[in-house]
Structure 1
Amino acid sequence: MHREPNSVPTMLFDWGSIKWHVTPGSVPGASSTLGEVVINPNRGHDRHLHPHSDEILYIIEGEGRQTVGDDPEFVVKAGDAVWIPMGTLHSTFNTGWRPLRIIATYTPGGAEEALRDLPDFIELAPGEHPTWEVGPPS
């Protein structure tokens, strides 16, 4: 099955956006999840965990700070990979001037559904694109 970015919805949050290209709910027979995460400059998401899924992050552009469990915070940049075991608290923050672009996977898939319950969640239909406002850092 082939899926291109304009054929899938975009999840929007106050920190950035996610396009889930493959999920168990959108691709018949899929058992894992794969998507592209964009974290805007000077933004990040709160520490959270996925109780039933491991997560792998592969940084494709930008730089940031990452936490995984109780380990010290560390720098991530293009080319780095991060494994987050299921049930482990973690967070990502963009420290650069350009978007931090990440490929994210969940195994098994399905953890992405919990994002719909976040208070800042908005979903754009396939083919719609977010508009970001310019302003000083918050």
Structure 2
Amino acid sequence: MHLTPDNVPTMAFDWGSIKWFVTPSAIPGAASTLGEVIVNPGRGHTRHNHPDAEEVIYVISGEGRQMVDDGEEFTIKEGDTVHIPAGVYHSTFNTTWRPLRLIVTYSPGGAEKALEGAPDLRLHQVGGVAQWWQA
């Protein structure tokens, strides 16, 4: 199956956006999840965990701070990879004026479903364009 950013919906939040390319709920037979996450400048994901899935984060571009297992924060930048075991608390913040672009995987897939209940979720269907502005 060939997927492009133009043929999957966009999940937009106050902190950034996500395009899930592969998920068990969207791709028959898929066992993992893969998507691109954009963290807006000066924003980030607060401390959270995925009880039943490990996460891998690969930094495409940008720079930020990462916390894993309530440990000391460390810098992440283009080319870095972070492994987060299942159930481990973590957070990611963009520390620059440029977008922080990440490839994120969950194994097994399905942890992305938790985001569907986020109060700030704005779902943009295929072909829609997410817009952000600062108040």
TM-score (norm 1): 0.95
Structure 2 CA distance for aligned equivalents of residues 108 and 66 of structure 1 = 22
Instruction: Give the Cα–Cα distance (whole angstroms) in 2 for the partners of residues 114 and 2 of structure 1.
Output: 25
Instruction: Tell me whether 1:63 sits opposite 2:75 in the alignment.
Output: no
- What is the aligned residue count? 135
- 1:111 counterpart residue number: 111
Q: Which residue matches 1:27?
A: 27
Tell me the CA shift for residue 60 of structure 1. Answer: 0.3
Structure-1 residue corresponding to 2:98:
98
Alignment of 1:10-49 (within 5 A): 10-49=10-49
Unaligned segments of structure 2, at least 5 residues: none
Deviation digits for residues 16-70 of structure 1 (CA, Å, limit 9, x no counterpart): 0000000000011100000000000000111100001000000000000000012
Write the distance in 2 (CA, Å) between the matches of 1:132 and 1:49. Answer: 26
Cα shift at 1:96? 1.0
Report the aligned-residue RMSD. Answer: 0.9
Distance in 2 (CA, whole Å) between partners of 1:104 and 1:120 is 20
1:113 to partner: Cα distance: 0.3
Taking only the aligned residue pairs, the percentage that are identical comes to: 59
- Matched residues in 1 for 2:25 and 2:134: separation? 34
Q: Unaligned regions of 5+ residues in structure 1, if any?
A: none
State how 1:80-91 maps to structure 2 within 5 Å: 80-91=80-91
- Distance, in Å, in 2 between the alignment partners of 1:68 and 1:47 is 9
Q: Provide the rounded CA distance (Å) in 2 between the counterparts of 1:67 and 1:18.
A: 20
Deviation at 1:134, TM superposition (A): 4.8
Cα distance in 1, alignment partners of residues 47 and 74 from structure 2: 14
Instruction: Return structure 1 stretches of 4+ with deviation > 4 angstroms.
Output: none
Compute the displacement of 1:12 (Å).
0.7
Paired with 2:70 and 2:62, the residues of 1 have a C-alpha distance of 24
- The equivalent residue for 1:122 is 122
